[in-house]
Amino acid sequence: MTKDQLPGEKDTMCEFCSVELDKVANAEALTGRNLGLLKRPEKRINANLPVKMDDGSVEVFPSFRIQYNDARGPMKGGIRFHPMVGEEEVEQLAFLMALKCAVVDIPYGGAKGGVVVDPSELSEAELERLSRKYIETYHEHIGPEKDIPAPDVNTNSKIMAWMMDEYERIEGEKSPGVITGKPPKIGGSEGREYATSLGGAFVLEEFVKHQDLDKEGLKVAIQGFGNVGSHLARFLHERGFDIVAVSDVAGGIHDPEGIDISRLFDLYEENGDLFEMDAEEITNEELLTMDVDVLIPAAIEDQITGENVEDVEADAILEMANGPITPEADDYLAEKGVPAIPDILANAGGVTVSYFEWVQNIANEYWDEEEVNRKLEEHMRDAFREVRKVKESEPGDTTWREAAYIKSVERVLEAEDYRGNVSE
Ligand code: GLU
């Protein structure tokens, strides 16, 4: 039994969370703190979801909801639909949600959900039945003051609408605050659709300022042209950055002079791929190892790994996906002095506007787009400055990730403290 294991328990620790926490355990700001409490989730819930398919057969989809920590407020985090999603991955993501909400100082804990499914193989009606089944099954565990799901990989506002509707049907009353990321017509917030990207743009601007660089003409490569990557390309282009490469699952394009992003949007909408642009075609692997000022992985986890990290030539990395750099690769980058702005700070704009959506829902308010974006900007820039302060007050080799972890862990443990959950 290790020191952190509970008596009578085999091993319920989250391995990744434990390793990551140990890296910051000796931080100045965490002196005397016991991080053991954060090494395992509060609750792991799972269920096999039987769903009637269009041909009359029944398929069973494994699913999870991991509720990691709720010391700072209700559990919060997305639900992903992916054929390869597993309980361990969802647990790591739930842990990251708890820290993410703490970094941007919104009053939530952290959770995450997942369903093992390839949604592209389902009809619209099957997808709806699966989404409703998830809520029917997890109904008693969620709620506007308990646990508030949202979109994540392969889930979107349409799915959130079905999920909210199912929850309200079971409850027999309106309850828009149970889910965020809904369509604006039924209680979603203005600006939520692109909030992750806009938040990332603010963080990158702060980082560039901190490095004493001029953003005008800085070369950026973005992996992923989904909801996050595409909006981010637009926001950064508008702010003077040069987007020299973008990619999606099918591969990418490269133009050293900078891609005309508005033209790319038009062509992408027309053709559904990136390759109609007059630009060099590249692979995803090539994009990740390009010599650029900023590399932005905005697709899925585990993209920069022990295998390819030695070839990474970017001067800095902005993590817009969750967990795109493996811990092994992260250690290498830290050693080499390549700054990586971590996911829990860089992509926190999404959950921040989720919080604004929830506030509007429970207060019956409506905030216009300008108000939402102004508040988002304040939160993101403040969060960056808070993390920067920690980085500057800790030893010189403290990374951006460690600084963000230190700040958020400190906030979660403070909340645990007030609740009487931290031993003297
Ligand atoms: N899935 C997003 C994330 O990983 C958003 C979560 C939310 O809005 O609750 O941050």
**84 to each of 14, 81, 250, 382, how far by Cα in Å?**
19, 9, 18, 36
- C-beta contacts of 234-240 below 8 A and 24+ residues apart: 234/197, 234/261, 234/262, 234/265, 235/194, 235/197, 235/198, 235/200, 235/201, 236/201, 236/204, 237/261, 237/262, 239/201, 239/205, 239/215, 240/215, 240/216
Predicted confidence at residue 112, as pLDDT, reads 98
Predicted confidence at residue 10, as pLDDT, reads 55
Determine the distance separating the centroid of ligand 1 and the alpha carbon of 414, expressed in angstroms.
23
Please work out whether the CB of residue 350 comes within 6 Å of at least one atom of ligand 1.
Answer: yes
Determine the distance separating the centroid of ligand 1 and the alpha carbon of 186, expressed in angstroms.
19
Ligand 1 atom at shortest distance from the alpha carbon of 76: 9
Indicate left, alpha or beta for 344 from its phi (over 0: left) and psi (-120 to 50: alpha).
Answer: alpha
**276 in the same domain as 206:** yes
**27 in the same domain as 130:** yes
What is the per-residue pLDDT across 234-284, written as a single tens digit (0 to 9) for each? 999 999 999 999 999 999 999 999 999 999 999 999 998 999 999 999 999
Predicted confidence at residue 6, as pLDDT, reads 62
**158 in the same domain as 176:** yes
Determine the distance separating the centroid of ligand 1 and the alpha carbon of 151, expressed in angstroms.
6
Instruction: Reply yes or no on whether the pLDDT at 3 is more than 60.
Output: no
Instruction: Reply yes or no on whether the pLDDT at 5 is more than 80.
Output: no
What is the per-residue pLDDT across 270-326, written as a single tens digit (0 to 9) for each? 998 999 999 999 999 999 999 999 999 999 999 999 999 999 999 999 999 999 999
CB 189 within 8 A of CB 352: no
Q: What is the pTM of this model?
A: 0.95
What percent of the chain has pLDDT above 90? 92
pLDDT band of residue 122 (cuts 50, 70, 90) is: very high
What is the per-residue pLDDT across 185-208, written as a single tens digit (0 to 9) for each? 999 999 999 999 999 999 999 999
**244 in the same domain as 179:** no
**213 in the same domain as 121:** no
Inside any domain, residue 115: yes
CB 39 within 8 A of CB 15: no
Q: Identify the residue whose C-alpha is closest to ligand 1 atom 8.
A: 351
Task: Determine how many CB atoms are found less than 10 A away from the CB of residue 106.
Answer: 22
Predicted confidence at residue 33, as pLDDT, reads 87
Q: Identify the residue whose C-alpha is closest to ligand 1 atom 7.
A: 351
Predicted confidence at residue 34, as pLDDT, reads 86
Residue 125 token pair: 């009606």
Beta bridge partners, 389, equal none
Domain boundary among 190, 216, 248: 190
Please work out whether the CB of residue 152 comes within 6 Å of at least one atom of ligand 1.
Answer: yes
Instruction: Reply yes or no on whether the pLDDT at 9 is more than 70.
Output: no
Please work out whether the CB of residue 78 comes within 6 Å of at least one atom of ligand 1.
Answer: yes
Predicted confidence at residue 8, as pLDDT, reads 58
Residue 68 token pair: 């990691």
Full domain range(s) for residue 87: 2-190
Strand, helix or coil at 205? Answer: helix
**11 in the same domain as 115:** yes
- Which amino acid, one-letter code, is at 422? V
- Which amino acid, one-letter code, is at 293? D
**218 in the same domain as 108:** no
Domain boundary among 163, 190, 217: 190
CB 406 within 8 A of CB 24: yes
Please work out whether the CB of residue 67 comes within 6 Å of at least one atom of ligand 1.
Answer: no
**222 in the same domain as 164:** no
Predicted confidence at residue 224, as pLDDT, reads 96
Pick from 350, 349, 356, 357: nearest CA to 188: 357
Please work out whether the CB of residue 322 comes within 6 Å of at least one atom of ligand 1.
Answer: yes
Predicted confidence at residue 4, as pLDDT, reads 59
CB 151 within 8 A of CB 114: no
Inside any domain, residue 275: yes
Q: Which residues are catalytic?
A: 112
Indicate left, alpha or beta for 342 from its phi (over 0: left) and psi (-120 to 50: alpha).
Answer: beta
Inside any domain, residue 381: no
Determine the distance separating the centroid of ligand 1 and the alpha carbon of 150, expressed in angstroms.
6
Q: State the average pLDDT over residues 66-81.
A: 98
Q: What is the mean pLDDT of the chain?
A: 95
In the chain, helix, strand, coil percent, each to 5?
45, 15, 35
Distance of CA 409 to the CA centre of its chain: 17
Domains in the chain: how many in total?
2
**228 in the same domain as 167:** no
Spatial CB neighbours of 379, under 8 Å, sequence gap ≥ 6: 104, 105, 106, 199, 352
- Which amino acid, one-letter code, is at 386? E
Q: Please classify residue 11 by burial: count the beta carbons closer than 10 Å to its beta carbon, then call 0-12 exposed, 13-18 middle and 19+ buried.
A: exposed
Predicted confidence at residue 12, as pLDDT, reads 83
Instruction: Reply yes or no on whether the pLDDT at 74 is more than 80.
Output: yes
Predicted confidence at residue 423, as pLDDT, reads 65
Q: For 81, list phi and psi in degrees, rounded to 5.
A: -110, 115
Q: Identify the residue whose C-alpha is closest to ligand 1 atom 9.
A: 77
Please work out whether the CB of residue 343 comes within 6 Å of at least one atom of ligand 1.
Answer: no
What is the per-residue pLDDT across 211-236, written as a single tens digit (0 to 9) for each? 999 999 899 999 999 999 999 999 99
**294 in the same domain as 176:** no
Domain boundary among 275, 306, 341: 341
Instruction: Reply yes or no on whether the pLDDT at 7 is more than 70.
Output: no
User: Worst-scoring range by mean pLDDT, 90-94, 178-182, 338-342, 392-396?
Assistant: 392-396
Predicted confidence at residue 1, as pLDDT, reads 45
